[in-house]
Amino acid sequence: MARVLVTGSAQGLGLRTGQLLAREGHAVVLHGRDTGRAADARKALPGVEDVVVGDVSTVAGMRDVAAQANALGRFDAVVHNVGVGEGARHRPVTADGLTLTWAVNVLAPYVLTALVTTPDRLVYLTSGMLLEGRPDLDDVQFERRRWDANAAYCESKLHDLLLTRAFARLLPGARVNAVSPGWVPTRMGGPGAPDDLDEGCRTQVLLATGTGPLAGETGGYWWHEQPATMHPASGGTALQDRLLAYCAERSGVELRLP
């Protein structure tokens, strides 16, 4: 039995991943942005071990969630599911002066990875849209560029893959992988999304539990249990290290290496 933390799991993909894990007999800790969402998560998964609460759009919230998670003890796996698909016409900015999309989709997984006791397995949710991401860390926050919500999302998902490959390289004691769940019918994906929700979660479950055909894999990027197409820039260690340094600068949190 594995003990798994799933972030961003009060609804949608994260919640369904937690439900599938629990159905297989694994211990699950969910995460909700506020107490109301945490209560909803408990109702949706009555057997949940616990729910951590915090808004990870801010660095303070990220730190708080990490502290709550560590207080519960070490996990066998963490699924970094939290994410937003912000479609705002104007650039949304967090209390820390960061674009909301990048703060939640990229900085939160970085800070939680840096602060939560390293588990055996780490899983990062990304998207096939990462192939449209611009492999350039100049003006990550769209402070000089014209705001483009779609471009911001695509870049954030490419950054998630860069984080995955960097952590797989720098945390050799952990198996680290990225997953594209496909276009699934969640609040973000919409009711007309063509992919199956359970199928969109199955790969995360296998990677989090270290079972099935993907057991032992690390540094991979997967879609429905099959290798997905990597962005050609994602293997560049210099770009990976630049992103890690940028995340450390914007959060004040350094990655602790073994």
Q: For this structure, is 221 an active site residue?
A: no
Residue-wise over 96-134: b if at least 16 C-beta within 10 A, else e?
bebbbbbbbbbbbbbbbbbbbebbebbbbbbbbbbbebe
Q: For this structure, is 153 an active site residue?
A: yes
Residue-wise over 12-46: b if at least 16 C-beta within 10 A, else e?
bbbbbbbbbbbeeebbbbbbbbeeebbebbbebbe
| Short-list 64, 59, 3, 2, CA closest to 32 | 64
Q: Are 152 and 92 in contact (CB under 8 A)?
A: no
Instruction: Please state, as a whole number, how many other Cβ atoms lie within 10 Å of the Cβ of residue 143.
Output: 11
- Bridge partners of residue 93, in order along the sequence: 99
- Bridge partners of residue 189, in order along the sequence: none
**Residues 110, 124, 153, 221: which is the catalytic one?**
153
**Residues 43, 110, 124, 157: which is the catalytic one?**
157
Encoded tokens for 186: 């969640």
Q: State the catalytic residues.
A: 153, 157
